[in-house]
Structure 1
């Protein structure tokens, strides 16, 4: 075989390999996009849960909370000016979780970014409405929070009763 034929064959192999790699990379991107699709209104709290949140808001004279299609109520207290997450974004946040009696059951700052879809549905539904640096108060019906699960600490003490409405104040600190 002549050198010219070998070079031509190598060039065709290289082009075919690059084409295959490009198609493969496109498939990977396509899979990620499919995997990250999220419908914030697909799961809705029951009417009884929504009515319970409404009753809490009325009893506490909270008149500016907005109802999301899922049944979460929210108040954006600081809009923020940075990046705005999508449901599949990784976020950093500082938060305080309260029971309906006002007592804190959890508070902290994420030690690392979490994918928003890995958090409770109430967060996943509402945090895309806030930009980095923003703050929101969430009034989450049980089915969009921890549902029928009891939350217990390391000593097996009850932290949060099953089917509890949750109230979170969340500061969005980063979006990736």
Structure 2
């Protein structure tokens, strides 16, 4: 009886350990690239691709100062998936934050604009929330943000 109980406890222990391994990192790079390129084509956008894999569209460059990756900025934005579903949006007045406190796609992407500028960031998962996701954002998601750089604080 002790050996059966010991066997059951061992199986339970091993299965609990293996459950933690289901959150392995998945490389969505190729899938995200295809999804972004398709979105750009369907929406007739003229986008540029950075070396990191971030795509961005500059509608208006802006005329003010240009932030660095270490800047604190005020930005108005709307975030959605390639299917158009909105997952987050600021007020028109925007919100302030440090560019080192946000996803990599924002840290890089906002620096392409000057104050008063606006455009679109198309962010692959490796520059967003990766394989794990966050809140309403599933792992592996391409994120699209319409952004307006209101000010460098």
- List structure 1 runs of 4+ shifted beyond 6 angstroms: none
- Which whole-Å CA distance do the structure 2 matches of 1:92 and 1:101 have between them? 27
Count matched residues: 125
- Which whole-Å CA distance do the structure 2 matches of 1:95 and 1:113 have between them? 11
- Which whole-Å CA distance do the structure 1 matches of 2:45 and 2:150 have between them? 27
Q: CA deviation at 1:71?
A: 0.6
- What residue in structure 2 maps to residue 17 of structure 1? none
**CA deviation digits over 1:71-101, x for unaligned, max 9?**
1111111111111101100001110001111
Q: CA deviation at 1:137?
A: 0.2
* Alignment gaps of 5+ in structure 2: 1-27
- What residue in structure 2 maps to residue 149 of structure 1? 132
Verify: 1:137 aligned to 2:143, yes or no.
Answer: no
- Which whole-Å CA distance do the structure 2 matches of 1:82 and 1:123 have between them? 19
Verify: 1:85 aligned to 2:90, yes or no.
Answer: no
Q: Which residue of 96, 100, 117 maps to 1:113?
A: 96
Determine helix, strand or coil for the equivalent of 2:33.
helix
Determine helix, strand or coil for the equivalent of 2:90.
strand
Question: CA-atom RMSD, angstroms?
Answer: 1.9
Q: CA deviation at 1:49?
A: 2.8
TM-score when normalising by structure 2: 0.73
TM-score when normalising by structure 1: 0.65
Determine helix, strand or coil for the equivalent of 2:35.
helix
Verify: 1:171 aligned to 2:153, yes or no.
Answer: no
- Contact map agreement 2:94 2:150 (CA 8 A) in 1: no
Q: CA deviation at 1:51?
A: 3.0
- Which whole-Å CA distance do the structure 2 matches of 1:111 and 1:81 have between them? 18
Larger-gyration structure (1/2): 1
Q: Structure 1 residues 114 and 71, CA, compared in 2 at 3 Å: closer, same or farther?
A: same
- Matched ranges for 1:63-82 at <5 A: 63-82=45-64
* Alignment gaps of 5+ in structure 1: 1-44, 153-158
